[in-house]
Structure 1
Amino acid sequence: MSERVMPGRADGLISLGAADALWVDLTAGSAVPTASGALTCFPARARAGYVLLGGRVVATVRADSGRWSVVEAEIRRAAAELNAIRMDRRDLVRIGPFRGASRPECDERTPLRWRRRIAGERGEPFGPERTARREAGRPYHLAGIDWRQILVERTSTGTQRSWWLPRAVVRLLDTAEHAEKQWVQAARTRPASTAVTEPPSHPRQAPDADGRQTTSPQGPTASLRPYGKELEGRLYSQLSREPGTSRRVAGWACAVCRTAPATVLDHCHEHGYVRAPLCQSCNTQERPDHLYGNDIRVANHYTRLFHTDTHDWLRHWHRCPGCRARTTLPLPHLAAWTAHTACRSLRPTHPAPRGRKPCGLLRVSWTGSQNAPRSCLLTVTVDRCPSGEHRVLARVPYREAAERFRVWLAETAPAVAAAAGPDRLDGLPAQFRPVIADTSGEDQALF
């Protein structure tokens, strides 16, 4: 039986059991499902001086009797921040598994390691997460979030599995992991007498008009610096081998959403230049659902890339000197834009219970490469047409697609278009660099 919540105490402290009940009660209507036992069950770390609730670090206090407590106001703040988050269950981010990806290393400074915990739960029958869950008698949570209710598992070609979470939850868990790392590092430097009594820094997030999360100066990204042009013109193949690059990337906020800590260094695989540091959510957002060498399925998330957040992504892609000088996009992005935007009016529709529905699934493939534009041809097709009547929608030569994009860019993002062109960069290589193999994810070599 859970403990009864007794607010209004003189010291503002409540027991962990009461805080568990309060957390569940306050977040009952949240878009993000929460779990019971957020402060008392694995992997809560109350005895380490803190617990994670959403994207917030809440300090725990140990009384003279040895009993652990938390400040009730902190639980209410964490619940209010979580309730303010809006989640689109259709906007999913793949979190694994990725072929060829190395096993995440254990790092005691970031005990959450939520991706590693999910991988252990889904793929390792006798992993530490399943062992802990069996010992506790209930599934474990992640920062007080019941992730199993929103995890989507997909199976393709009969055997390949993939795991997906809503983008809002991925960003929230990344924020929690970063905040925990900051808390642990700060606890090592502060006096032992105040290590578990001082309130930690925490995010104060609220959704803006388009559903993004904005973080106040007190949040975990407050210590992160915004990305300028520090790495502009650098080659990824050289920079990735320099010692300390990962630590340097972790010091920036994501260059696209600017609300989450950067975790990866995004680069153009067509020209080899670094674009900017991104968070894991934004880095996966630009990638397609399926990429098979020269074939892309154009999914709904391209609406955000080419409509909702167009300026942010165009500016980001043109951080590559090669793309900026050519006033174009890498071939896979240009192909996706051609199918999603330039050929949108060609996509047929079929009768549906509530009006008409777009036909089948949109796919675009190409022959040749951007290095031989005369022979490169983009083919836009429809898969899984209900009536079986629609196949090829358009065949667009590469040069025509690039010219259409230049016109559209000038109309959609004039500032980005004004900064592009061959006269804007004197040091552009005479020969385009070959596509760089990417080992960070499955079937993503061209992105």
Structure 2
Amino acid sequence: MTGRVVPGRAGGLITLAAADALWAELTADSAVPTVSAAFTCFPADAAAGYGLLGGRVVATVKASYGWWGVSQAEVRRAAAELNAVGVNCQDLVRVGPFRRVPESEPGRGTLLCWRRRIAREMLEPDDLERAARREGGRLHHLAGVDWRRMLVERTHDRTVRTWWLPRAVVRVLDAAEHAEAQWQQTMRTRQEHPAVAIEEQRSRQQPSQAADNGRRTTGPDLPTVPLRPYGEELEGHVYAVLSRKPGISRQVAGWSCAVCNAAPAAVLDHCHEHGYVRAPVCQSCNTQERPDHLYPNDVRVAGRYTRLFDTDAPTWLRHWHRCPGCRARTTLPLPHLAAWTAHTACRPLRPTHRDPRRASGRTPCGVLRVSWTGSQNAPRSCLLSVSVDFCPSGEHRILARVSYREAVKRFGVWLAETAPAVAAAAGPDRLESLPAQFRPVVADTSGKGLALF
């Protein structure tokens, strides 16, 4: 990566065109593809007072001669942050569509609700192509990221299209959306309370010795905003009640993700069987945790379960047992328990095929899938069936049938060996705070009006 210096202007500013060229040059070797017109191509708008580069907000300033500029140092910082991002193109997250695409919301910012923007552009390709021709062939971008170069489209039954991005890119865009929301909130506060802006100006002129740990910088002229680590403040709360409380979305955005601790929280993860809130998490972790449902009683055990039940098992087990119902019964929600049964308890039963490309000379057969009859409310009759789909030889076979009670028993033994601290905190002696009956399963809330949760 080269480091050519673009000639600056008064006050350390460079023009938007120079900033575009600098951004493209500094990120030429980045694993995340970028565009060459981050400040001058839609949806960037210098008049809004800021631009987005990766996960960072960069203020735009109108110079005395009438041209718009940005700080060269801020462009370099944003490029350095993006260049440090590693991308695993096999670790994909679904970014749309989720049911119907909401109507356009003008004035919400350049990136807010980026998943909706992608869905609209993908559902209306003709309009996008016409707009691109009007803009000299430049396609739209998100925070300077050329998301189209990494978008993966999948088609199910030749009718249903879904779009996927690498998890690392999703984290960058989520961070940018959070930074933009914080910027806009601060700008509104300044307009409504001028005294606050004056005090912030004084604090910048007389910086304190406070450390920057746990704070996110969202621009050169914006005070750092702390992200609070989650401290179990929502334990025992029922999601159906808490999600409707005024101001809860702003409260959630103030926490860091309770799983990865590396990104701002965006949603309230909750147990769909018992109805309890687990913790605020980022969009990426929420997508990774969600089981891959093919049908209401069917889960495909994809590769991401290797992380959930192997490398990062203690973290995820602690997170799932934040639900009092799961913790007291020393189990997992039925879809998670089914996936665990197929991935861990029945893994030795999975057949293999010869594969000279692998060191072991064998490769696992097809894709594991687990379905069940009955429900966790009737454990005597609930039965899990683990099978193999997409076998290279065309064989679709059932590996095992495991009763719900047997699956729970096996999970309890494995939990004690894998995460002793989590197992020690679980058990039937902590049933006093639970309702006498199971709470109904919380309906899917990914539709319009409840998209945040």
| TM value normalised by structure 2 | 0.86
What SS is found at the alignment partner of 1:334? helix
Amino acid at match of 2:438: F
2:125 and 2:348 map into 1 onto residues whose CA distance is 49
Q: Select which of 388, 398, 408 maps to 2:394.
A: 388
Aligned residues: 421
2:366 and 2:50 map into 1 onto residues whose CA distance is 50
Amino acid at match of 1:385: C
What SS is found at the alignment partner of 1:291? strand
Contact preservation (8 Å) 2:298, 2:372: yes
- In the alignment, is residue 294 of structure 1 matched against residue 297 of structure 2? yes
Partner residue, 1:205:
none
1:9-408 correspondence to structure 2 within 5 Å? 11-99=11-99, 101=100, 103=102, 106=105, 108-113=107-112, 114-125=114-125, 132-137=131-136, 138-190=138-190, 217-219=215-217, 222-355=225-358, 356-389=362-395, 391-408=397-414
Amino acid at match of 1:103: P
Compared with structure 1, are the counterparts of its residues 353 and 216 closer, same or farther at alpha carbon in structure 2 (3 Å cutoff)? farther
2:332 and 2:240 map into 1 onto residues whose CA distance is 20
CA distances 1:356-412 after superposition (whole Å, capped 9, x unpaired): 221011101111111121221111110111123451111111111111111111111
Deviation at 1:109, TM superposition (A): 4.6
2:120 and 2:15 map into 1 onto residues whose CA distance is 31
1:249 and 1:230 map into 2 onto residues whose CA distance is 11
1:333 and 1:232 map into 2 onto residues whose CA distance is 20
Bigger shift: 230-239 or 357-366? 230-239
1:247 and 1:184 map into 2 onto residues whose CA distance is 13
Task: Report runs of 4+ in structure 1 exceeding 6 Å deviation.
Answer: none
Deviation at 1:290, TM superposition (A): 3.3
Amino acid at match of 2:159: T
Note the aligned Cα RMSD (angstroms): 2.7
Compared with structure 1, are the counterparts of its residues 42 and 35 closer, same or farther at alpha carbon in structure 2 (3 Å cutoff)? same
Contact preservation (8 Å) 2:101, 2:119: no
Bigger shift: 268-277 or 423-432? 423-432
CA distances 1:219-258 after superposition (whole Å, capped 9, x unpaired): 4594332222222112122222333332322222221122
Compared with structure 1, are the counterparts of its residues 332 and 306 closer, same or farther at alpha carbon in structure 2 (3 Å cutoff)? same
1:5 and 1:230 map into 2 onto residues whose CA distance is 48
2:407 and 2:447 map into 1 onto residues whose CA distance is 28
What SS is found at the alignment partner of 1:296? strand
Contact preservation (8 Å) 1:7, 1:72: no
Compared with structure 1, are the counterparts of its residues 6 and 67 closer, same or farther at alpha carbon in structure 2 (3 Å cutoff)? same
Q: Which runs of 5+ in 1 are unaligned?
A: 202-214
Bigger shift: 102-111 or 410-419? 102-111
CA distances 1:273-315 after superposition (whole Å, capped 9, x unpaired): 1111122111111123333011111000111211222122111
- Could you tell me the percent identity over the aligned residues? 72
Contact preservation (8 Å) 1:294, 1:365: yes
Bigger shift: 219-228 or 171-180? 219-228
Compared with structure 1, are the counterparts of its residues 109 and 185 closer, same or farther at alpha carbon in structure 2 (3 Å cutoff)? farther
Q: Which runs of 5+ in 2 are unaligned?
A: 205-212, 219-223
1:185 and 1:238 map into 2 onto residues whose CA distance is 26
Amino acid at match of 1:232: E
